[in-house]
Amino acid sequence: MHLNHLAIIMDGNRRWAVSNNLDVYEGHRKGAENLWSIVQEINEFNIKYLTLFGFSTENWKRSQKEVFYLLSLLEQFLDDANLKIKKYNYKIRFIGDLLVFDQNIQEKISVIKELTIENTGLVITLALNYGGRYDIVNAANQFFKFNKNKSDPMQMKEADFKEFTYNKEIPDPDLLIRTGGEIRISNFLLWDLAYTELIFLPEMWPDFSKILLEKCILEYSKRNRKYGE
């Protein structure tokens, strides 16, 4: 069974740092570094789409100091991405309410999107200030806005609803991997994950490796997807 779209919740950076007697922010830094390593590994498995939970709508509830550090890492990640896309054929997308970020981050996001829009390699979607419920509510609002001035409004149908979601351009994930030991999806891609296979790992994100990735892909290949049947 081919894995076309992989989604990952990269959890456990803070707990990894604590378990290694490091500052919490070192865990986030290590996690960001590991992300690029995993992207390279994914290229070997003929996976076309990769969606990552980078910054959730709930992350704003953390301490001001931690939020500041996370935003600094995001900016650094965007700078790194700008350099790396010159070497690789990645197409990088961003989903979520991006208008809350400062102008500098928004401009860097726009530059990366424009530079990679024609690329044909791995499609990387980074969810920033994203929440699954927000995605659904936003899609519903877009649908009603689309119908507002029509003399014969269309009735909302499940098959058409995806066209108003953030991920309307790409297929739903085949597999979701969550690291960090938590067994929940934490408001991530609620519409998209309806029939996705789920794997939860006890390992923290900074320790996620090619070996663990291979094990997850092997586990996925043994499953029989029934799509609710």
Q: How far apart are CA 212 and CA 207, in angstroms?
A: 9
128 - beta bridge partners?
A: 55
Of 183, 191, 49, the residue nearest 126 (C-alpha): 49
Cβ-based neighbour number of residue 99 at 10 Å: 7
φ and ψ of 38, to 5 deg:
-65, -35
Strand ranges in 85-132 using DSSP code E only, listed in sequence order: 91-95, 123-130
Active-site residue, selected from the candidate residues 43, 59, 119, 138: 59
For residue 58, give the 3-state DSSP assignment: helix
Active-site residue, selected from the candidate residues 11, 172, 174, 192: 11
11 carries an active-site annotation: yes
Strand ranges in the chain using DSSP code E only, listed in sequence order: 5-9, 49-56, 91-95, 123-130, 175-178, 197-200
192 carries an active-site annotation: no
Return the ∠ at Cα 53 (arms to 61 and 111), rounded to 5°.
100
Counting every residue, how long is the chain? 229
Residues annotated as catalytic (active site), given as ranges: 11, 59
